Amino acid sequence: MHQLLRSIPAIHGMLNDPQFRNVKETYGLSDQVLTSLIQRAADALRQDLIAGIKPVNSSMKSEVLERTNALAKKWGKNQLTRVINGSGTVLHTNLGRARLSERAVEHVTEIASSYSNLEYSIHEGKRGSRHTIAENLIQEITGAEAAMVVNNNAAAVYLILKGLAKGMEVIVSRGELVEIGGSFRVSSIMEESGAQLKEVGTTNKTHLYDYEEAINEHTSMIMKVHTSNFSIRGFTTSQSRKELVPVTDAHELIYYEDLGSGSLIDYQSAGIGDEPTVKQVIEAGADLVSFSGDKLLGGPQAGIIAGKKKWIDKLKKHQLARVLRTDKMTLAALEATLLHYLNLEALDELPVYRDINISASEVKRKAEHFMKRMSHLGTITFTLKACTSRIGGGTMPEVELASFGLHCQLDSYAPHELEKKLRLSEPAVVGRFLEEKFFLDFRTLTDKDIDDLVIIFEALDQRS
Ligand SMILES: *Cc1c(COP(=O)(O)O)cnc(C)c1O
């Protein structure tokens, strides 16, 4: 045993060994990190030997080398990593939803790497509120009396219910009790918040009298939930804010809409979907609305609450507001994103809008240009195909965006093998299957993505 333990080479020697230097190169490690990894690999080997586990490699050095490599692979670089999104879904929740604008990224970088006036009033030279900057922007853009920002829209819903309806009844139409993204259910959030869900109507029909009959002295709120990722067609009736606001006003109840995506510009007039703008909902008399920062808005993960000052003030003072408060990086990204709206440059600057608005013919041009660059490949075949992309993120489920992409086939590889190779490449490439072949939708691909795809496919071609 002692013999075995003593045969583990000295750390210093391994550090200068070409094979270990190679690990350093491959993963771009500093000497310090390499030393630490070798140390940990050698320690683990020692533990195994003491526990009687036999080494698999012929020499102790190759035993440590293998373990160092495994450690470097796991810890030598970031695991949260860039993905090329060829899925055709613009707001893909699994892939991080909205990409930030360049200006938002720059702003985050500056605020994250320095001190800031996050909660400090530069004018008054004393403590300020972290809500102010985003609130002012949201007021300007939506016309709301007041606003605040929390961690995500689920947190916004929770805070509103807990802060304003705990122990009271909240009326919701059965047609709106949907589950979003497999983890957000209004009924569950409601239960957690201590507010009592009062379901009215049926899945396809809820009449105004259903709401009116449900109101009693325990009612605090009528809540309308955007049925984001789901739509009921056919024999349906639902009540719009136009009918509901007078009812809540007459009974001094809160009228609250969970808008889900919360569009700040009018997609409807651009011919995409039938999403109202936040401003329209506020103007229609909603007391409160909440929506996500990283869906159609095109900013960071956040939950925005806007509406009547009376209610927002109460929410700001709630203990939970502290629990759900957003970080400076989020607030920086949100500020820069909202400024794009205020300055009427959102359509040009926000990746979400560029990706949604790009025409099928422009996407086609991107795909064709890529095919030309790939014409020298021997074993990979690309076939241009029209397809439809989706907005995703539970946003405008009905909308199909005409798009283009490429069927990709690699000689002697099954489609799922090619899919796996691309998924495990660096950067990772995520596509989808269309007609049982691997398919890349070019809608959301940037120039950089396409340059990287060229390199990835060239390497695959040489290997096969
Ligand atoms: C997406 C969505 C949520 C959850 O928002 P997050 O920002 O993901 O927490 C809540 N309600 C509706 C209607 C949604 O579409």
pLDDT digits (tens, 9 = 90+) for 107-119: 999 999 999 999 9
User: According to the model, what pLDDT value does residue 75 have?
Assistant: 87
47 and 87 inside one domain:
no
Please give the distance, rounded to the nearest whole angstrom, from the Cα atom of residue 291 to the centre of ligand 1: 7
CATH of the domain at 433: 3.90.1150.180
87 and 45 inside one domain:
no
**Which residue's CA is the nearest one to ligand 1's atom 11?**
260
Collect all residues with Cβ–Cβ distance below 8 Å to 324 and sequence separation of at least 6.
150, 151, 155, 158, 159, 303
CB atoms within 10 A of CB 246: 13
User: According to the model, what pLDDT value does residue 182 have?
Assistant: 63
The residue-averaged pLDDT of 246-259 equals 96
Query: Is residue 131 helix, strand or coil?
Result: coil
User: According to the model, what pLDDT value does residue 463 have?
Assistant: 61
260 and 360 inside one domain:
no
The residue-averaged pLDDT of 224-234 equals 72
User: According to the model, what pLDDT value does residue 231 have?
Assistant: 61
38 and 87 inside one domain:
no
For residue 203, give the amino acid letter. T
- Token pair recorded at residue 128: 């300020």
The residue assigned the tokens 């771009």 is 28
Query: 157 in a domain, yes or no?
Result: yes
Average pLDDT taken over every residue of the chain: 93
**Which residue's CA is the nearest one to ligand 1's atom 5?**
153
- Lowest-confidence segment of 11-25, 194-208, 269-283, 413-427 by average pLDDT: 269-283
User: According to the model, what pLDDT value does residue 236 have?
Assistant: 74
- Lowest-confidence segment of 41-45, 173-177, 448-452 by average pLDDT: 173-177
Q: Domain range for residue 377?
A: 83-91+356-463
**Which residue's CA is the nearest one to ligand 1's atom 12?**
260
Q: Give the whole-angstrom CA distance, residue 25 versus residue 39.
A: 18
Pocket of ligand 1 contains residue 392 by CB under 6 Å:
no
pLDDT of residue 435 exceeding 90: yes
The residue-averaged pLDDT of 225-230 equals 73
- The CA-to-CA distance between both ends of the chain, in Å, stands at 46
Residue 310 confidence class, pLDDT cut points 50, 70, 90: very high
User: According to the model, what pLDDT value does residue 398 have?
Assistant: 79
The residue-averaged pLDDT of 44-66 equals 92
For residue 280, give the amino acid letter. Q
362 and 306 inside one domain:
no
% of the chain surpassing 70 pLDDT: 98
Query: 344 in a domain, yes or no?
Result: no
Higher pLDDT, 268 or 437: 437
Say if CB 292 and CB 313 are below 8 A apart. no
Q: Give the whole-angstrom CA distance, residue 227 versus residue 221.
A: 18
Pocket of ligand 1 contains residue 175 by CB under 6 Å:
no
pLDDT of residue 78 exceeding 90: no
Pocket of ligand 1 contains residue 334 by CB under 6 Å:
no
pLDDT of residue 79 exceeding 80: yes
Residue 412 confidence class, pLDDT cut points 50, 70, 90: confident
Pocket of ligand 1 contains residue 444 by CB under 6 Å:
no
249 and 377 inside one domain:
no
Query: 374 in a domain, yes or no?
Result: yes
87 and 63 inside one domain:
no
Burial of 381 (0-12, 13-18, 19+ CB in 10 A): middle
Say if CB 176 and CB 225 are below 8 A apart. yes
User: According to the model, what pLDDT value does residue 234 have?
Assistant: 67
The residue-averaged pLDDT of 176-192 equals 84
Query: 118 in a domain, yes or no?
Result: no
The residue-averaged pLDDT of 20-24 equals 95
Residue 230 confidence class, pLDDT cut points 50, 70, 90: low
Query: 335 in a domain, yes or no?
Result: no
User: According to the model, what pLDDT value does residue 385 have?
Assistant: 98
391 and 305 inside one domain:
no
Pocket of ligand 1 contains residue 370 by CB under 6 Å:
no
The residue-averaged pLDDT of 187-216 equals 93
Query: 31 in a domain, yes or no?
Result: yes
146 and 236 inside one domain:
yes
CATH of the domain at 226: 3.40.640.10
% of the chain surpassing 90 pLDDT: 82
pLDDT of residue 464 exceeding 60: no
58 and 87 inside one domain:
no
226 and 319 inside one domain:
yes
User: According to the model, what pLDDT value does residue 340 have?
Assistant: 98
156 and 63 inside one domain:
no
Task: Fill in the DSSP letter of residue 190.
Answer: H
Mutate which of 95, 153, 275 to test ligand 1's pocket (most atoms within 8 Å of Cβ)?
Answer: 153
The residue assigned the tokens 């030393």 is 35
The residue-averaged pLDDT of 281-304 equals 97
Query: 192 in a domain, yes or no?
Result: yes
Query: 223 in a domain, yes or no?
Result: yes
Number of domains in the chain: 3
User: According to the model, what pLDDT value does residue 44 have?
Assistant: 95
Q: Give the whole-angstrom CA distance, residue 345 versus residue 343.
A: 6
Q: What is this structure's pTM? A: 0.92
pLDDT of residue 38 exceeding 90: yes
62-88 burial string, b = 16+ CB within 10 Å, else e?
ebbbebbbebbeeebeeeeeebbbbbb
pLDDT digits (tens, 9 = 90+) for 117-163: 999 999 999 999 999 999 999 999 999 999 999 999 999 999 999 99
**Radius of gyration, CA atoms only, the chain:** 27
